[in-house]
Every structure is written in C-alpha cells, then in structure tokens.
A = this chain, B = another copy of it.
Amino acid sequence: MKTVNIGIIGAGRIGQLHAENLARSKRANVKAISDIRVDLIEQWARALGIETVTTDSRKLLEDPEIEAIFICSSTDSHITYIEAAAKAGKHIFCEKPVSFDLKQTKRALEIVEEHGVKLQTGFNRRFDHNFMKIRHLLNEGRLGDPHIIKITSRDPNPPGYDYVRVSGGLLFDMAIHDFDMARFLSGSEVAEVYVQGAVLVDPAIGELGDIDTAVTTLKFENGAIGVIDNSRKAVYGYDQRVEVFGSGGNVSVSNDSDNSAEWSTAEGVFREKPKYFFLERYQEAYIRETEAFIDAILENKDVPVSGRDAYMAELIAAAAKQSLTEKRPVSIQEAAKGLLG
C-alpha cells in the first residue's frame, strides 16, 4: 500500500490530534513534527513513532521525502507556512481560519495555485456523520430545493479572555465553522448577511469588544435563507445541530451523546447529555478529513474542502462583523469590495 510522508508544523492540541489520527492510518506516515516546545512533546512523538522532532520547521520543508505538510500553528503564522510549503512543492493541510486578513488569504491561494500543490482547509464538520447524512439526502434530492437552513452552534464554555483577545471574535473564531456549513449544505454562495449580536453570557467578553450570543441571517444566491444561532455557553454541553427545510421535506439531526439510555424514575425521565466538546463530538470527523486529504494526494483528486472554501467563510465572517458594527444587512459583494478594494 502506498503511504504519504507527512510533516506537521505545530504540536498544540490540534496538531497532536492530527498526528495521532495519522499515526493510526495505514496510508500515512508522520515523519517529522516541529514545535517551539520540543521538550514538551518529544516523548509523546517518539511513542507515536515520529522520526524527527524539531524546533525548526524548515527541516520538514526541506525533507524531500515529505510530501505533505499539516499547518497546525497559530493563525498568524499560517500564511508564512502556506507560502513556504507551496514553494517547497508540498501539499498542504491548513487549519481554519487561513488568516484574519482576507487579502492575505487571497494571496496565499494564488501562491498555492501557482505551485500546483493541493490545499485542504480544516472545516472538519463537513465530515461529521450527521451533517454528511444531510448533504447526502440533499444530493439525492430527497428534500427538494433548500429553502431554510438552520444551524445551532453553541459551546459549553467561553474560551479564556486571553484567547478572546486574539481569536478574531465569535464570528471569526466560532461562527466561521457555521458559515462553512451553511455553504456546504445550501449548495450556494451567501449573498448577504445580517447579525443580531449580544453580550448575555459574560460582560467581560463585551468589554473585550466581542459578543457571546448571536443570531445571524444569511441570504443565499439561490434564494434560500439561512439562520445560525451561536452562544459561547450552553450549560448542558456542546450543542451542534442542523436542520434543512426544502421544497421536498425537512431533515434535522440531534446531538451525539455517549449512549442512548433513557431512564425513568419517580423524579422524571432522563437522557445522557451531549458529548462534551468538539474533540469528543468530532472525533470521527477529524479522522475522516485527514483520510480524505490522504486520498486526494494518493489518487490525485481534488481536496474536499479547498482554500477557496476557507476564503469564502472568512469573507462571510468579515461581512458579518461589518453587519454587527453597522447594525444593518451587508452584502458579501460590499464586504469584499471594502476589504480587497
């Protein structure tokens, strides 16, 4: 069986996750990993059988045996590594968002294009078993044309204030996944966006210039309407549901939980809470997205989530931010013009 040699830049939580999933794949070999804190990861990396553990990402980019690079470093370094990897002729898997600056994202895509390498971006939720089923039902025409797309996306807890400061805010950090999901499910581009946002969970988040609650309305080019509701704090756990209503019917998916038990006592009827957070809920989706990337390389196919997908989600997030600030609907075109000139 052919295998792909892989280098991973950045061994934080998500870098480690990808490394472990790739280590389990029969078609991938994690040959090298780089991180500023080699001391923290060396033992873990060795146990996984990774040959090279280094602080120097250039070693990965210069290794001729490495065909693909996973960029799992902080967002502000993504563009630099995309450029370097593309120039080194490596295929690229880059975590979302590509950047907070639409111009830079656009430039990165052009570089990737120039060098003819593949770029997959980390919208892992497209690989979730529930959302895939919705896409599948839509593809089969079981739901007719989509009319209303509803996405519920709520975290169990807000991130720390330090993270809030650099995260790009709820719209760029959290809702961006939902913007991608909206595009994935609607089969259409977003034309206009309107955000009604609020600070209801924690006033300190507001003081940092962010919101913690939002309802975003999307108008799609094909006429369909979307709505996303976000909250930074759902006390019962990670709430990730989608509903698509079309001319032929409606589909909804519920949260995953660890078991299907329903128990009844004198006090009431109970079920298990949802799986705690994204690592638990999207465990399988993370595996599937890396397998799909390996597939694309080995079989020289298009990647299932492209750089353009990342670009479009970032553009919607930018329009959403403008809508929030200006308290009015903002068209994607207007936002693009403002950002790109």
Task: Give A contacts to B, CB under 8 Å.
Answer: 1, 24, 26, 47, 129-130, 132-134, 137, 142-145, 147-148, 150, 154, 194, 196, 198, 200-201, 213-215, 217, 219, 223-227, 229, 231, 233-237, 239, 245, 247-266, 268-274, 327-329
Residues of chain B with a CB closer than 8 A to A231's CB: 147-148, 245
A265 lies within 8 A of B248 (CB): yes
Given contacts A130-B260, A133-B259, A213-B225, 4 further A-B contacts (CB under 8 A): A24-B24, A129-B258, A148-B229, A235-B265
Q: Report 19 cross-chain contacts, Cβ distance below 8 Å, ordered by A residue.
A: A24-B24, A129-B258, A130-B261, A196-B225, A198-B224, A198-B225, A201-B247, A234-B245, A237-B264, A248-B265, A250-B263, A252-B261, A255-B260, A268-B271, A268-B273, A269-B271, A269-B273, A270-B271, A328-B328
**Which residues of the partner chain B approach A249 to less than 8 Å between Cβ atoms?**
235-236, 263-266
Contact: A248 with B235, CB < 8 Å? Answer: yes
CB distance from A45 to the nearest CB of B (A): 13
Q: How far is the CB of A248 from chain B (nearest CB, A)?
A: 6
Copies of this chain in the oligomer? 4
Chain B nearest CB, measured from A249 CB (Å): 4
* Residue in A226, A245, A327, A328 whose Cβ sees the most chain B Cβ within 10 Å: A245
Known: A200-B147, A263-B142. A235 touches B253 (CB 8 A): no
Q: How far is the CB of A80 from chain B (nearest CB, A)?
A: 34
CB neighbours of A250 from chain B (8 A): 234, 236, 239, 263-264
Distance in angstroms from A99 CB to nearest chain B CB is 29
CA distance A229 to B260 in the complex (A): 20
Given known contacts A253-B261, A261-B252, A269 and B236 CB-to-CB distance under 8 angstroms: yes
With A236-B250, A328-B328 already in contact, the answer to whether A200 and B217 are too (CB < 8 A) is no
| Bound CA–CA A45/B265 (angstroms) | 39
Shortest C-beta distance, A283 to chain B (Å), equals 11
* Residue from the list B47, B229, B235, B256 in contact with A150, Cβ < 8 A: B229
How far, in angstroms, from A225 to B211 measured CA to CA in the complex?
A: 13
Which B residue sits closest to A244, measured CB to CB? B263
Tell me the nearest residue of chain B to A228, going by C-beta. B227
Q: Please judge, given known A-B contacts A129-B259, A231-B245, A254-B260, whether A198 and B223 are in contact too, CB under 8 Å.
A: yes
CB-nearest residue of chain B to A256: B260
CA distance in complex: A148, B233 (Å): 12
A196 & B215 in contact (Cβ 8 Å cutoff) = no
